């Protein structure tokens, strides 16, 4: 399949490819060059670290945790 680059450098990904890869409006695509070829990859929706959020229980509150890191805040 072919596409034409616009004056702004934009290219329309053919519908058949969008459908095959599940690319939807608003999807981020990361571009790179490999062996002289343009390679586009769908960016993961979530950061892998986000998957860990909330999985480890804590005995202290967020304020207690921040105080332990930075020390208590003195409010005049």
pLDDT tens digits for range 7-61: 999 999 999 999 998 898 988 999 999 999 999 998 877 777 777 777 788 788 8
pTM: 0.52
Residues 40 and 50: their CA atoms lie apart, in Å, by 23
E strand or H helix at 15: helix 15-21
- At residue 29, what are phi and psi to the nearest 5 degrees? -120, 135
Higher-scoring residue by pLDDT: 75, 41:
41
Residues 36 and 4: their CA atoms lie apart, in Å, by 18
Model pLDDT, residue 8: 96
Model pLDDT, residue 51: 74
Model pLDDT, residue 5: 94
């Amino acid at each position: 399949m072919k596409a034409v680059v616009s004056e702004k450098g934009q290219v329309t990904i053919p519908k058949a490819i969008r459908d095959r890869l599940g690319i939807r409006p608003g999807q981020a695509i990361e571009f790179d060059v490999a062996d002289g070829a343009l390679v586009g990859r769908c960016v993961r929706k979530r950061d892998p670290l986000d998957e860990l959020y909330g999985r480890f229980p804590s005995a202290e509150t967020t304020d207690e945790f921040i105080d332990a890191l930075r020390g208590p805040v003195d409010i005049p």
